[in-house]
Amino acid sequence: MTENINIKTSCNNVIIVLVEPAGPLNVGSVARVMKNFGLSKLILVNPQCDRTSDDALKMAVHGKDILESAVIVDTLPQALHGCVRAIATMGREYSGEIPLETPRTALPWLLAEVEKPVALIFGREDRGLTNEELSYAHKLVFIPTNPEYPSLNLATAVSICCYELSQSTDLFTEENIPDPEIASLDVMEAFYQQLESLLLAIGYLYPHTAASRMEKFRHLYNRAYLQTAEVGMLRGILRQVKWAIKQK
């Protein structure tokens, strides 16, 4: 009993984010798994099914309260509002610059933050997350599977990650928790929008390639885990550059 209480206390700031889930059975199963491992915060991004349908409620069993309290938003940035750390899961080939990690090596990093919201993001059942959606995450997780049949059910993937989180709760104590002042993802998003606007204005970016080039900037700054004050300093530089351009 004590172990379950510790798990819940250690994971109570972890948000499970499902992007456009299509199967009510999957959504209900995710709620049940979250209940098993002491997680309670669920956000659904543009869900393609009814979270309160009979199928969803049937699969949730004792996790019905998680389904009923789940927050529904339109976009992934809305789901990540206020979060200071985010890990995205993926089950397809990836050619980007963020290194892939296993749940066991990556997920403990979420638990190092105990005061502010952190997010674990799961993609669509049929095609996962887009490259743009992956760029919102600090880390990417890939669950190794049999190459002859690599596709994992959504609820199964959530189960594996929740289990690994529960096994990591004893790794962090008050003595080894790092500085929690990492800038939230919505603060970072405002910086990225300001940076893109300036780079377009000075001709460093072109409209038709801006998205792909900005993806590289996102990867660069996400790896740095900038603090809020540091983002403020960078945004101040951008404002000063914009002012200097106008003076000329």
| 29-77: pLDDT as tens digits | 999 999 999 899 999 999 999 999 999 999 999 999 999 999 999 999 9
> What are the CB-based long-range contacts (under 8 Å, 24+) for 153-157?
153/26, 153/125, 154/18, 154/21, 154/23, 154/26, 154/30, 154/122, 154/125, 155/25, 155/26, 155/29, 155/30, 155/33, 157/89, 157/91, 157/122
Domains of the chain (ranges; CATH) run 2-171 (3.40.1280.10), 185-247 (1.10.8.590)
As a whole number, mean pLDDT of residues 214-243 equals 89
pLDDT band at 192 (very low <50, low <70, confident <90, very high): very high
Give backbone dihedrals phi and psi of 22, rounded to 5 degrees, phi first.
Answer: -110, -20
- The percent of residues in the chain predicted with pLDDT above 90, rounded, is 59
As a whole number, mean pLDDT of residues 163-172 equals 73
| pLDDT of the residue at 6 | 43
**Any idea which of 25-29, 138-142, 166-170 has the lowest mean pLDDT?**
166-170
| pLDDT of the residue at 1 | 35
Look over the chain and give the mean of its residue pLDDT values, rounded to a whole number. 86
Q: What angle do CA 49, 81, 101 make, to 5 degrees?
A: 80
| pLDDT of the residue at 10 | 66
| pLDDT of the residue at 119 | 96
pLDDT band at 223 (very low <50, low <70, confident <90, very high): confident
Q: pTM, whole model, 2 decimals?
A: 0.75
pLDDT band at 169 (very low <50, low <70, confident <90, very high): low
CB 11 within 8 A of CB 3: no
pLDDT tens for residues 103-152?
Answer: 999 999 988 877 889 999 999 998 899 988 999 999 999 998 888 887 88
**Between 10 and 135, residue with greater pLDDT:** 135
Asked whether the predicted pLDDT for residue 9 surpasses 50, the reply is: no
Pick from 8-12, 31-35, 97-101, 184-188 the range whose average pLDDT is largest.
Answer: 31-35
As a whole number, mean pLDDT of residues 209-230 equals 88
| pLDDT of the residue at 145 | 86
